[in-house]
Amino acid sequence: MKPRGRWKRFSFGLQATLAALLAGGAALLAVDVADWRYVRVDLSLTGRNSLDPALLDLVDKLPEPVVVDVFLRPLSGPYRDVSLRARQRTLDLLSVAASSRRGRFDVRLHEPSDFEATRERQRELGVEGENMVVVSCGQRHTELALFGELCVIDWGNPSEDNVRYLLGQGIQPVDPRTWNPDPRAFRPADLREFRGEEALAQALLKVSSGNAPHVYFVEGHGEPALEGTQETELGRLRSALVRDGFQVGTWDPLKSPTVPADCAVLALIGPKQPYAERTRETIRAWAEGGGRVLAAPDVSELEPDRDGGVSAVLRDFGMIVLRGIVCLPVTGATGERVEGDPYCSLLVIDENLLTASHPLTEPLRRRGRRVQFRSTPAFEFEADKGVLPLVQTPPEAWRDLFDARGQLDYRCNVAAGEGRERMRLAAARDLRATKDTATGAVRQGRVVGVASALFFANLDFNANRDFILNAFNWLAEREYRMAVTPLDRSTSFLDLERGNAKPVLVYSLWLGLPALSALIGGIVFLRRRS
């Protein structure tokens, strides 16, 4: 009986082994068949395992496969949980995209522990930092921030130490106008909204190489250097345009009398010498024939007897550059409004003074962005030209006029004609549509005027980047690329000169701190007496 029992056990073992082999073979066959024709079915109630068909169609139309490099690191302290949730939502989205378009969408997760490989890949991409996703297609790539673009986080009511920590991570956690540092009012951070699919679609559009319009900067008249790194030069502007999918070139009207045929946007920024009459006529005729112009004068055009520059071009389109430098009062240490300070000519314009009726400024207004001007004139508009203001000042602004010595005193001198009123610092105009008799295409010219070329310079570019890129994209009819990026560390700031922060800090330091010390001393004295 024993030999028969051993044979029976061997038979059962053999059957189990064969069954396991058959099951493995069936699994491999199923995977292979799935690769032949991959079909996904989303059974989740919220549809989180599906993507918008338009997004998938966009991936299919890209000229090359998409590579997504993921650089995520959890935050520490009370923000670890919310950062892990944001990380997981992002990875889930990318996993669904990779599964939906195999061979077209490659996700590469770079763990913080693999420091050398991560740094090497970032050097290849030309990026740095953490908690971001880099989307690449061919030679183009764009960055998406985890906090701000992919995920909208309510950071609660953090303590001062936590505010400093988040600022060190490049995150603006609170609105200084409403922040209450009282520890009794603490609220934990929360993931309010996930915008991953929308942000991913924007990124894919940016890296698409099918549409790379040409931007030509007029040169030959003392313009700031496009490759320059000095504060008044335009190196950051040029780099940002290239990364946003534009091809950047120059046009010297003294060498070539006609605007290049492939020009999508013609930029006239900060010439120090006037244009020839023929050049101004060429620019005006090109715009009226459907061309797109962005123009900003140099401050030197405010000098007496100086004409023929960008101001003359803008005047042809109904935007008149006024003499003088726009100023606003600043806040003193005790909360009073102060004039006579050169800082009065530095204007920080918040979202409430950006027009809500134009696609260029509406996203900035909705996301609470500011723009910054320094030593800028203002515009006056011709009533019948249809010019729309984009950026205005508060009504307490004035134009500080140069005295006989060419100096400014940064004070509103009513006797000298310096009245207070709302000033216009940027404007846009749609020109009359025209029809090309040769091709039958209808084109409508567009003009954006900004009162100061310094608005585009390296010094203030980070503060004005979203407005500037939206202006170029609107002119080039790329409204689908008009977006607002999260605040950089360099643009996260308290406006001590015009907000209420300075008097609060002064009174807190000079009165609050001594009073608190006296109170603590009194309590200690009474306890010892008792």
User: How far, in Å, CA of 327 to CA of 349, rounded?
Assistant: 12
Domain of 102, CATH number, reads 3.40.30
Taking the chain, what is the end-to-end CA distance rounded to the nearest angstrom?
97
Q: Are residues 237 and 189 in the same domain?
A: no
User: How far, in Å, CA of 266 to CA of 181, rounded?
Assistant: 49
Domain of 279, CATH number, reads 3.40.50.880
Residue in 245, 312, 320, 319 with CA at minimum distance from that of residue 279: 312
Q: Are residues 333 and 441 in the same domain?
A: yes
Instruction: Please tell me which residue, 344 or 60, carries the higher pLDDT value.
Output: 344
With respect to residue 63, please indicate whether it lies within any of the assigned structural domains: yes
How much is the average pLDDT of 6-12?
70
Instruction: Determine contact, residues 330/344, Cβ cutoff 8 Å.
Output: yes
With respect to residue 8, please indicate whether it lies within any of the assigned structural domains: no
How much is the average pLDDT of 289-295?
95
pLDDT for 161 equals: 86
How much is the average pLDDT of 398-426?
91
SS3 readout for 337-382: EECCCHHHHEEEECHHHECCCCCCCHHHHHCCCCEEEECCCCEEEC
Q: Are residues 237 and 99 in the same domain?
A: no
Least confident of 220-229, 306-315, 329-338, 444-453: 329-338
User: How far, in Å, CA of 511 to CA of 45, rounded?
Assistant: 58
Q: Are residues 254 and 324 in the same domain?
A: yes
With respect to residue 420, please indicate whether it lies within any of the assigned structural domains: yes
Residue in 85, 207, 86, 88 with CA at minimum distance from that of residue 143: 207
* Rg of the chain on CA atoms, in Å: 30
With respect to residue 23, please indicate whether it lies within any of the assigned structural domains: no
Residue 269's pLDDT band (cuts 50, 70, 90)? very high
Domain count, the chain: 2
User: How far, in Å, CA of 50 to CA of 58, rounded?
Assistant: 15
Q: Are residues 316 and 292 in the same domain?
A: yes
What lies within 8 Å, CB to CB, of 434 at 6+ separation is 288, 289, 290, 442, 443, 444, 445
User: How far, in Å, CA of 412 to CA of 401, rounded?
Assistant: 9
Q: Are residues 231 and 379 in the same domain?
A: yes
With respect to residue 38, please indicate whether it lies within any of the assigned structural domains: no
Beta bridge partners of 426: 391, 450
Q: What is the DSSP letter of 223?
A: P
- Taking only the tens place, the pLDDT of each residue in 65-106 is 889 999 999 999 889 999 999 999 999 999 988 888 888 889
pLDDT for 210 equals: 56
Q: Are residues 316 and 190 in the same domain?
A: no
Using the predicted structure, report yes or no on whether residue 389 has a pLDDT greater than 70: yes
Q: Are residues 285 and 147 in the same domain?
A: no
Using the predicted structure, report yes or no on whether residue 55 has a pLDDT greater than 60: yes
Q: Which domain holds residue 321?
A: 212-491
User: How far, in Å, CA of 275 to CA of 257, rounded?
Assistant: 12
Residue 298's pLDDT band (cuts 50, 70, 90)? very high
User: How far, in Å, CA of 530 to CA of 124, rounded?
Assistant: 70
Q: Are residues 177 and 146 in the same domain?
A: yes
What one-character-per-residue DSSP string does 464-501 give? HHHHHHHHHHHHTT-GGG---PPPPGGG----TTTSSH
Instruction: Determine contact, residues 415/487, Cβ cutoff 8 Å.
Output: no
Q: Are residues 185 and 154 in the same domain?
A: yes
Residue 56's pLDDT band (cuts 50, 70, 90)? confident
Joined together, the tokens standing for residue 420 give 């207070």
Using the predicted structure, report yes or no on whether residue 130 has a pLDDT greater than 50: yes
Last residue of some domain: 162, 182, 206? 206
- Taking only the tens place, the pLDDT of each residue in 35-48 is 444 444 444 444 45
pLDDT over 70, % of the chain: 82
pLDDT for 481 equals: 62
User: How far, in Å, CA of 272 to CA of 300, rounded?
Assistant: 7
With respect to residue 106, please indicate whether it lies within any of the assigned structural domains: yes
How much is the average pLDDT of 399-412?
89
Instruction: Determine contact, residues 221/279, Cβ cutoff 8 Å.
Output: no
Instruction: Determine contact, residues 240/457, Cβ cutoff 8 Å.
Output: no
Q: Are residues 163 and 105 in the same domain?
A: yes
- Taking only the tens place, the pLDDT of each residue in 101-126 is 888 889 999 988 888 899 999 999 88
How much is the average pLDDT of 418-443?
87
With respect to residue 280, please indicate whether it lies within any of the assigned structural domains: yes
pTM of the model: 0.62
Q: Are residues 362 and 457 in the same domain?
A: yes
User: How far, in Å, CA of 445 to CA of 451, rounded?
Assistant: 20
Residue in 164, 504, 457, 494 with CA at minimum distance from that of residue 332: 504
**What average pLDDT does the chain have?**
83
With respect to residue 143, please indicate whether it lies within any of the assigned structural domains: yes
pLDDT over 90, % of the chain: 45
User: How far, in Å, CA of 384 to CA of 398, rounded?
Assistant: 25
User: How far, in Å, CA of 293 to CA of 428, rounded?
Assistant: 10
Residue 492's pLDDT band (cuts 50, 70, 90)? very low
Phi, psi of 125 (to 5 degrees): -85, -15
- Taking only the tens place, the pLDDT of each residue in 146-191 is 998 899 998 888 888 888 888 888 888 876 666 666 666 667 889 9
Residue in 87, 184, 73 with CA at minimum distance from that of residue 118: 73
